[in-house]
Amino acid sequence: MHYAIVAAVAVVGYALGTFPSAIIVAKANGVDITSRGSGNPGASNVARTLGWRKGMFVYVLDAAKGVVAVVIGRLVAGDAGGYWCAAAAIVGHVFPVTRRLRGGKGVATGSGAMLVLQPAVSSALAVVWVLVSKTTKKASIASIAVTVGLPVGMGVIGTPAWEILAMAGLAVLVVVRHLPNLRRLRSGTEHTLHGKAA
């Protein structure tokens, strides 16, 4: 793949990732989501603060960023372009230059991208997320579980090694973004899906 094409795909993906879904939806409801709950501008925090319907709306918007990124990347440069654009969209969501690199965790955007790139694995992990979140009442635990499970699932179905390595790298980024959640889990102050620490 030509370097200029890679760069162009990455720029487009990053720009898509910076779209502040949670902040826009929360502001439309008179709330600064970065000062509520965990302070994270993501679907889970919106759901805890404004209800599951608005949280789901934010999730769909964030996931759509990943879907659109993959579609554009593939149209421009095939499967490799899809992965490059998806990776850039996740990075844009996590580190948006428009908000001083203070973004979300990347789970929703990543799930949208993987729904297109790896539909079978993504469908299985969606079930895992629901089961873990219902059992633990913690979105963070469910998100970490599916993030770690993604490259594992790709390996099980025989995905090419370069794709597994690419997703493993992004998985590390998402898990690192969840380190504050892990600290709160250890101290017993992590919020549940309903907004209470437990």
Residue 9 tokens read as 């795909």
Instruction: Give the per-residue pLDDT at 196.
Output: 54
Instruction: Give the per-residue pLDDT at 198.
Output: 45
Is residue 13 within 8 A of residue 93, CB to CB? The reply is no
What is the residue-averaged pLDDT of the chain? 91
Q: Is the pLDDT of residue 36 over 80?
A: yes
Is residue 20 within 8 A of residue 34, CB to CB? The reply is no
Tell me the average pLDDT across 4-24: 92
For 192, phi and psi rounded to 5 degrees?
-85, 180
Tell me the average pLDDT across 22-46: 92
Longest Cα–Cα distance in the chain: 50
Instruction: Give the per-residue pLDDT at 139.
Output: 86
Residues 6+ apart with CB under 8 A from 31: 49, 50
What's the distance, CA 55 to chain centroid?
14
Instruction: Give the per-residue pLDDT at 1.
Output: 55
Q: Is the pLDDT of residue 146 over 90?
A: yes
Residue type, 139: A
pLDDT in tens, 77-132: 888 899 999 999 999 999 999 999 999 999 999 999 999 999 999 999 999 999 99
What's the distance, CA 47 to chain centroid?
15
What's the distance, CA 4 to chain centroid?
27
CA distance 42 to 15: 17
Which DSSP state fits 42? S
CA distance 148 to 26: 29
To 10 degrees, the CA torsion angle through 164, 169, 170, 172? 120
Write down the H helix ranges in 18-160. 21-28, 43-50, 52-94, 107-117, 119-136, 139-156
CA distance 62 to 43: 8
Tell me the average pLDDT across 129-148: 92
